[in-house]
Structure 1
Amino acid sequence: MKLPGQDAIARQADEHFVTYKVKLPRKLVEHPFRQVAKRLSIALLVLVVTAVIVYADHDGYTDNSDGSVDLLDSFYYATVTLSTTGYGDITPVSDAARLTNIFVITPLRVLFLIILVGTTLEALTERTREEWRLNRWRSALRDHTVVVGFGTKGRSAIQTVCATGLRKDQVVVVDPSGKAIEAATAHGYAGVVGDATRSDVLNRAEAYRAKQIIIATQRDDTAVLVTLTARQLNRGAKIVVAVREEENAPLLKQSGADAVITSASAAGRLLGLSVLSPAAGMVMEDLISQGSGLDLVERPVIKAEVGKHPREMDDLVVSVLRGHRVLGYDDPAVGGLELADRLITIVRATPATHVAPDARPLPRD
């Protein structure tokens, strides 16, 4: 079956997507022209200092043309000396001038050459250093989170998972927009510019080694294709997908998604709840905002809690995860808690909430 818009997506990829590029976050954000201007300023300062030193002791120098050294001759001598040209028409003749050349002008010459050569070498080795950084990043990347789409939903999802302790270097953003990836790298995330429906793009994001994949594309048909590709590359990753229309959720499930969040219907239900009870709407908004007020947290059962009923717990237990079933706290099938169970609880958002062992937040809309 051919999905709606699949041909358009393929044509767009063939026409506009020529290369795939991985961008790593930079610690130093300085414009190249600014760096060159700064180094040129230092080089000119070295030149001026050298000319002033020569002119201050111009009696110790001789010029083959007229015998005397003026200010112009001093700048001329500084230029040919620092550039190691050395025509020999102006030479130091006094002991003081020769000592100055040895202990002052020679170090300035070395500094001048370092500035010029350093700028050239940096330009020539930039690509090599980027390749080295990229290879080191790939070799160290394991059990990371891949986020497809850096729009409003994608950014909110990243903020939520990072609020629970996930490091920024464990997040890789995939988006076809170069500007979106630049925004992601500015926030400290690695980024891949490209169409995530293509397996080679997801491979560049190391999706086959990812622990979880969040798909937050703008179109539902694109989300289906990305889910199919991601599941083919990684059978064990947890894939969470956001779609606009609820009727597309079963198709995403069949494509390999572990959880499907219907953004349009979820927002509509929250609106309806807020109309019926503004206070209840505020509580729900608080629950889906990680790190403030109340948080929904999934955590394992500890040994001291085995055999207890969910109502006997200190935490406010909402549901019990037993195997692949989600049981309500008042479900008779729950009985006593088992060591293999996991609890979905409502807790007060504090720093301690995010450091509990093996605890993680629930997927947000």
Structure 2
Amino acid sequence: MKRPGDTGAGGAARPQGSVLLPRPDISPQRQVLRRLLTALVVLWVTVLLVYLDRDGYVDNSDAGVSFLDCLYYTTVTLSTTGYGDITPASDSARLVNTLVVTPLRVLFLIILIGTTLEALTDRTRQQWRLNRWRSALRDHTVVVGFGTKGRSAVQTLLSTGQRRDRIVVIDPLPQAVRTANAEGFAGVEGDATRSEVLIRAEVQRAKQIVIAPQRDDTSVLVTLTARQLNPRISIVAAVREEENAPLLRQSGADQVITSASAAGRLLGLAMLSPNASSVIEDLIQQGTGLDLKERPVTKAEAGGSPRDCADLVVSVVRGHRILAFDDPDAAALELTDRLVVIHRASQTRPEPGERRGDSR
């Protein structure tokens, strides 16, 4: 069976694990105009140098060297035509030609053939950008699959303060990776079930990974590979069928979201209680209306009851246990607890001791 990203018959595919970084979008017309202006600057600088030292030049057709003669000499010299009718005669003029005009001639030619040179040097420049990007990438978020689920997860991360340069997208479809690039995210084109693709996304140094492919078996394989590469990474995975959720947890996923059953429950709730369904949808959408958020307990809240908190506390996370707000064990909050709260989106701010962008 052909794996995503493999080379198919009749065309060459991009190598597995190709990393694409977002780059500024400059139109071809603007690039040509920029190069033309640079070439004109080089031309006029050379004309000025020759004109200032015109007494050191000899014109075979007449006795003096005018400004027009300087412009003519500069044009034929930079274009390497060189008719020889105007030549540097004095030592200073020859020295300026050797040390200044010749480098300017080379620069002028480089600008004229800049398109060809750019194609030749693009790979080197891209490799330099990749090396710099990899050296600075730490504690980032990897998103596997840039479909509907993956995009929604990315938008939620952005709404909580996560920076775009701290998100890396992996997808086997070139169009999905290009879309991620256009939105400012680094992208890796390839099959995320392969360890070399995850390594190119620096999973071994990532803080968390969101796994949202189209197939449940892909989610299991990606989870196993990611857990093997980084035992400390936080893994949140999505599956379509609820029967595959236990397998994902056994594979190493910290959180498993069942998309099919969750959507079915929302549909049923919408029929039985439309208003409750609207509230749930509001809670799911970050940045609007009500937000559902996990945050640490502050020093002022420690020792008190969940009912005394300014936010509406839904549950208390103590160690690996999740306690309901009215659980007797959660009657007195501890400083090491974390709270799952509901509050207005406009009031979303980083809590004391919590880094902005921490979505765990």
- What amino acid does structure 1 have at the position aligned with 2:325? Y
The answer as to whether partners of 1:297 and 1:361 remain within 8 angstroms in 2 is no
| SS in structure 1 at match of 2:328 | coil
| SS in structure 2 at match of 1:203 | helix
CA distance in 1, matches of 2:76, 2:164: 51
Q: CA RMSD in A?
A: 4.0
| SS in structure 1 at match of 2:187 | strand
Cα distance, 1:11–1:166 mapped onto 2, change above 3 Å: closer
Aligned match of 1:131: 127
Aligned match of 2:54: none
Moved more, 281-290 or 330-339: 330-339
| SS in structure 2 at match of 1:340 | coil
Aligned match of 2:50: none
The answer as to whether partners of 2:177 and 2:187 remain within 8 angstroms in 1 is yes
- What amino acid does structure 1 have at the position aligned with 2:21? L
CA distance in 1, matches of 2:274, 2:315: 24
Deviation at 1:91, TM superposition (A): 7.0
| SS in structure 1 at match of 2:243 | helix
Question: Identical aligned pairs, as a percentage?
Answer: 61
Aligned match of 1:140: 136
Cα distance, 1:111–1:355 mapped onto 2, change above 3 Å: farther
Q: 1:340 and 2:336 equivalent?
A: yes
Deviation at 1:252, TM superposition (A): 0.9
Deviations 1:336-359 (A, max 9, x none): 111221110101112652465327
- What amino acid does structure 2 have at the position aligned with 1:217? P
Aligned match of 2:77: 81
Aligned match of 1:307: 303
Cα distance, 1:238–1:324 mapped onto 2, change above 3 Å: same
Match of 2:145 among 146, 149, 160: 149
Moved more, 272-281 or 206-215: 272-281
Match of 1:173 among 146, 169, 176: 169
- What amino acid does structure 2 have at the position aligned with 1:278? P
Aligned match of 2:22: 25
Cα distance, 1:153–1:50 mapped onto 2, change above 3 Å: same
CA distance in 1, matches of 2:321, 2:32: 62
CA distance in 2, matches of 1:351, 1:145: 25
Aligned pairs for 1:232-271 (under 5 A) are 232-271=228-267
Aligned match of 2:110: 117
| SS in structure 2 at match of 1:303 | coil
The answer as to whether partners of 2:245 and 2:256 remain within 8 angstroms in 1 is yes
CA distance in 2, matches of 1:335, 1:62: 100
Deviation at 1:295, TM superposition (A): 0.7
CA distance in 1, matches of 2:33, 2:359: 50
The answer as to whether partners of 2:188 and 2:201 remain within 8 angstroms in 1 is yes
Match of 1:227 among 206, 223, 230: 223
CA distance in 1, matches of 2:207, 2:183: 21
Cα distance, 1:88–1:18 mapped onto 2, change above 3 Å: closer
| SS in structure 1 at match of 2:235 | strand
Cα distance, 1:349–1:301 mapped onto 2, change above 3 Å: same
CA distance in 1, matches of 2:311, 2:302: 14
CA distance in 1, matches of 2:205, 2:358: 22
TM-score (norm 2): 0.80
- What amino acid does structure 1 have at the position aligned with 2:277? G
Deviations 1:67-120 (A, max 9, x none): 9xxxxx999766423324322236799xxxxxxxx99xx999976753432426
Q: Structure 1: give runs of 5+ residues left out of the alignment.
A: 1-7, 52-59, 68-72, 94-101
| SS in structure 2 at match of 1:248 | helix
The answer as to whether partners of 1:298 and 1:361 remain within 8 angstroms in 2 is no
Aligned match of 2:51: none
Deviation at 1:256, TM superposition (A): 0.8
The answer as to whether partners of 2:5 and 2:189 remain within 8 angstroms in 1 is no
Deviation at 1:303, TM superposition (A): 2.4
CA distance in 2, matches of 1:173, 1:125: 26
- What amino acid does structure 2 have at the position aligned with 1:156? S
CA distance in 2, matches of 1:280, 1:326: 23
Cα distance, 1:108–1:91 mapped onto 2, change above 3 Å: closer
Deviation at 1:214, TM superposition (A): 0.3
Cα distance, 1:83–1:19 mapped onto 2, change above 3 Å: same
